[in-house]
Structure 1
């Protein structure tokens, strides 16, 4: 999911405002699932628009339920959610990503997941973990994504390479060969700085065995594994294999089409964009798992569905979420949106089972790592963004950048 910036002071102020408001709020008596009622649902971006159509299908099969879907832009999603929480007016059901989960669970506005209805074993481990806060599940996985390697197979062949790189050594060699023998301007694109650089860095950090904080919430971004990842990432820029600077919001697809950027890491939506925007690339590109160091491990993303603690329609909300997250609902959602199913049963038939490229995403998702659901996680990762930038721009050594990031993160997680 996309992330909205926020500060600890804002979160603290919101918590205070919510506490004052919530004291006087009451959801009243709860309505049984089979009673006539209106269910309010907020969903973000393209998902919000597509969910309107799904809601209409659900209403046909459940005429007692009216599903009122409100599409919300990602640019205002966080603002609208915190305002609704403060006013005690959260929707019955909301789409929520892992970077929001810790904050809203801490505010006390989310209903814990009914684990008798929703079984953790039905979902990718990392997908389920994105909805957990301190061992309690608050979100049911709706869809997932992860990062894999996109590469130009035709240019690789020109460079004398016939298969995707399996490890860091192979990735570095392939980037060099593409630049030297296939006339690519760059060997690979890796975001050098700016907001969310951490998302480009995660495959290196996790594959090296590193983390930002450990399971106890202690910062470990200066561990030997993390330092190794900083060095490896920075060396691509230092050696001229990846660009030192790119414009905010830079999209590598145009340069992927021309061959100037023959490799980059990204998520499943890129496959659809390539097919739609650059049909001439058909048969000239492929995806591959993240090249391994200690392991081949990428980041886990996606969204979960949550229920408001104050909702008087919890039973109906649970049934609607069940409809969206069982294998049948997940397959339908994939066909409508290309969002990857969080329910693993949906991957056993049809295109999801038969497509080699989709199976690469499935394999990567099986080992992907989810971010900790800390209330101020975006602030924490902003320190890693800065650390990566200091390394790629030659302002600090990997060791010094890691130490500084750890010190700054320590003050945020005390």
Structure 2
């Protein structure tokens, strides 16, 4: 149930740019108070839920018909690419942070009206996901991040009564789970395969490392990154983590049957555990990512963008404003459990009173977003490969990241 979308190869983006160079705006903008139909694409479960919200919006704005098209995440990128090439993007679309650099480069997105939307109203990492080269193209809709899920009952059995606050305590607890509580593993982290980097981010960012820095330069072989990968790899070296996890692995099930007592997960895991593993209710908790130099996790989520060719930009802007203001964000959370990107929505109601939700808010305050680069998928693939070499004992952290550095340098210079 990953909320991080992936992009196409940079070559495809460049080819499309040639096609799109002949496409321009199709005309003037229709005033927001005129009768019109607004087309909206939203992905996955959000597409279904947004249709319900659209009905409410239409009752208050009878001049606007909002036509929501749900799009599966598995086909979302290709549909967006095809629509961009044909000049038929919807007026409003949901877009993950890893899409933003690609579609901004294609020139098909309208810059955000910063007189309407103020970046100070949103989590910094949420806003940054919609920025490309200093220009905002997406308004944050919802955010997510990763925190530590751990079994409190098994921790007590292992003689530990508090959440691990740093790397030393995290590994000590993982060891104690195995040796004293009899769990199969100490911590579930991904050893290899697509998007392994998403598990690695909590180590990389907490150590002060990055893949590409603010100047657009590759820095994955920095001392901080090497330290993070050594720590990550040590869980596999010591048998604390499984080095042969199969694609589609369900950590929730193993968390419930005592095989895996800890994992890094997103906000949706709360619902999955409550509904799917009722036998451990009250026997688990969440905590912020254990710190090295800091406690810093990855930022995910989605933004809402407006097509540059849309003739309904004014109405589109008002609809997005409705979805991302304090009331709209609180309502969206109640419908979907997606975490609000607008920080004011956290100041009252369940979002303010729920201790678990506040763990996510604290993590989001320091979460780090990935750079909006058209080549980001190819870049993270190189990091995935480096991680796999270390977890499988085929290379040292230094050597694996040195090779990744060389390959990523070639990508960022394209």
**Counterpart in 2 of 1:365?**
364
Structure 1 residue runs of 5 or longer lacking an equivalent are none
CA distance in structure 2 between the aligned counterparts of 1:321 and 1:312, rounded to whole angstroms: 15
Contact between 1:127 and 1:144, CA under 8 Å: does it hold in 2?
A: yes
**Counterpart in 2 of 1:254?**
253
**Counterpart in 2 of 1:411?**
410
**Residue 166 in structure 1 maps to residue 165 in structure 2:** yes
**Counterpart in 1 of 2:350?**
351
**Counterpart in 2 of 1:41?**
40
Deviations 1:309-355 (A, max 9, x none): 11010000000000000010000000000000000000011111111
**Residue 340 in structure 1 maps to residue 342 in structure 2:** no
**Counterpart in 1 of 2:285?**
286
CA distance in structure 1 between the aligned counterparts of 2:6 and 2:321, rounded to whole angstroms: 28
1:371-410 equivalences under 5 Å are 371-410=370-409
Deviations 1:254-302 (A, max 9, x none): 1000110000001000001111111221100100000000000000000
What's the offset of the Cα at 1:153?
Answer: 0.5
What's the offset of the Cα at 1:212?
Answer: 0.1
What's the offset of the Cα at 1:4?
Answer: 3.4
In structure 2, which of residues 2, 9, 21 is the aligned counterpart of residue 7 of structure 1?
Answer: 9
What's the offset of the Cα at 1:6?
Answer: 2.1
Contact between 1:127 and 1:370, CA under 8 Å: does it hold in 2?
A: yes
TM-score normalised by structure 1 residue count: 0.98
CA distance in structure 1 between the aligned counterparts of 2:126 and 2:6, rounded to whole angstroms: 20
What's the offset of the Cα at 1:5?
Answer: 5.1
**Residue 133 in structure 1 maps to residue 132 in structure 2:** yes
Contact between 2:144 and 2:338, CA under 8 Å: does it hold in 1?
A: yes
CA distance in structure 2 between the aligned counterparts of 1:249 and 1:142, rounded to whole angstroms: 27
**Counterpart in 2 of 1:186?**
185
Contact between 1:127 and 1:302, CA under 8 Å: does it hold in 2?
A: yes
1:149-228 equivalences under 5 Å are 149-228=148-227
What's the offset of the Cα at 1:27?
Answer: 2.1
CA distance in structure 2 between the aligned counterparts of 1:11 and 1:108, rounded to whole angstroms: 11
CA distance in structure 2 between the aligned counterparts of 1:274 and 1:134, rounded to whole angstroms: 39
Cα RMSD (Å) of the superposition? 0.8
CA distance in structure 2 between the aligned counterparts of 1:400 and 1:249, rounded to whole angstroms: 29
CA distance in structure 2 between the aligned counterparts of 1:48 and 1:408, rounded to whole angstroms: 37
CA distance in structure 2 between the aligned counterparts of 1:394 and 1:329, rounded to whole angstroms: 49
**Counterpart in 2 of 1:87?**
86
CA distance in structure 2 between the aligned counterparts of 1:168 and 1:61, rounded to whole angstroms: 51
CA distance in structure 1 between the aligned counterparts of 2:25 and 2:338, rounded to whole angstroms: 36
